[in-house]
Structure 1
């Protein structure tokens, strides 16, 4: 199956747990990987004005990726979506930080772009509202249906190799 891994906002600003960073590093080694990094630009997204908080103006992705896209806000950029569409993949594996906000926003954008977003449930962390990520997982199942785990994807890759 042609697929790409999209890692959402695994960067210092959001203090990802070490198990997530380590898990993503080993998982992404065998799959084409892209990542997003959320940077603050108040002119693009009014985090400070509306929420009294904002991500860092400079930060970097903590997991090696083939391509990294900067975004200013919750969802992926048009450039990110166009890049993924050019890859002609059957599904986009999505994981990362804030299952119930930024990861979910990526799911909506991918779905609306005609792609097949699939959440990797054990490689995601929720927001401060629900650190377990279960709220985001439940919303993902409701809206997109497609969820998987790291073990299921690795088993599929092993079976495809032969």
Structure 2
């Protein structure tokens, strides 16, 4: 079934960065496979004159999430490095609004709303519904979508345009199910106009 886009819709592309894709320090399994769909989603929103947001981890070198600092992850997406850059095959429009998160060395921040200006920009642009895609389903997509739902936004997950880390088998499926239970809807890229 086609999903109609409305003037108060926006796309949130979560963390399509080199370190989360093949060759990166924290590559998400099968992550490269979603690049064509994510690009197609971006093109559809841009063609409809709708905003595209792209979140990114943008960590200092001593970030709390890194194993050396007591966290659970290898160093990744360190600000100013290749790993923090968006993947070169990702076709973000010139009008993209980049949201940097995890910039405070002492705080974890999986959500694109955590200590970022995203809420204010969404309010300023009168956005009511966000379509969410990217990496990773069970971490930053989950946290961002949950915070958007908690803030009263409508959330539609573009399920063929995201991938999970799956530290524990099924984490991605459980993340999607929990978001659906909280009120998120789902679609695929091909169902967008």
**What interval of TM-score do these two structures reach, taking the shorter chain for normalisation?**
0.7 to 0.9
- Residue 75 (structure 1) aligned to one of 106, 111, 133: 111
Q: Report the CA distance shift for 1:89/1:127 in structure 2 as closer, same or farther (over 3 A).
A: same
Greater RCO structure (CA 8 Å; 6+ sep): 2
- In the TM superposition, 1:50-69 aligns within 5 A as 50-57=71-78, 58=81, 59-62=84-87, 63=90, 64-65=92-93, 66-69=96-99
Query: CA offsets per residue over residues 73-107 of structure 1, 9 Å max, x none?
Result: 20114301211222212310001111111101001
- State the match for 1:46 in structure 2: 64
In the alignment, the residues of structure 2 paired with residue 93 and residue 56 of structure 1 have an alpha-carbon distance, to the nearest angstrom, of 24
Contact preservation (8 Å) 1:94, 1:118: yes
Q: RMSD across aligned C-alpha pairs, in angstroms?
A: 2.1
- In the TM superposition, 1:143-154 aligns within 5 A as 143-154=182-193
After the TM superposition, which segments of 4 or more aligned residues of structure 1 sit over 4 Å from their partners? none
Contact preservation (8 Å) 1:7, 1:96: yes
- Residue 145 (structure 2) aligned to one of 104, 107, 115: 107
- Residue 176 (structure 2) aligned to one of 137, 144, 147: 137
Task: Count the aligned residue pairs.
Answer: 153
User: TM-score, with normalisation over the residues of structure 2?
Assistant: 0.71
- Higher mean alpha-carbon deviation, 87-96 vs 6-15, is at 87-96
Q: Report the CA distance shift for 1:117/1:60 in structure 2 as closer, same or farther (over 3 A).
A: same
In the alignment, the residues of structure 2 paired with residue 71 and residue 103 of structure 1 have an alpha-carbon distance, to the nearest angstrom, of 13
- For structure 2, the residue ranges without an aligned partner over 5 or more in a row are 1-5, 22-27, 46-50, 103-108
Query: CA offsets per residue over residues 7-59 of structure 1, 9 Å max, x none?
Result: 0001101116332112111220121311001122366x511222152322131
- Residue 98 (structure 1) aligned to one of 125, 136, 155: 136
Q: Report the CA distance shift for 1:8/1:29 in structure 2 as closer, same or farther (over 3 A).
A: same
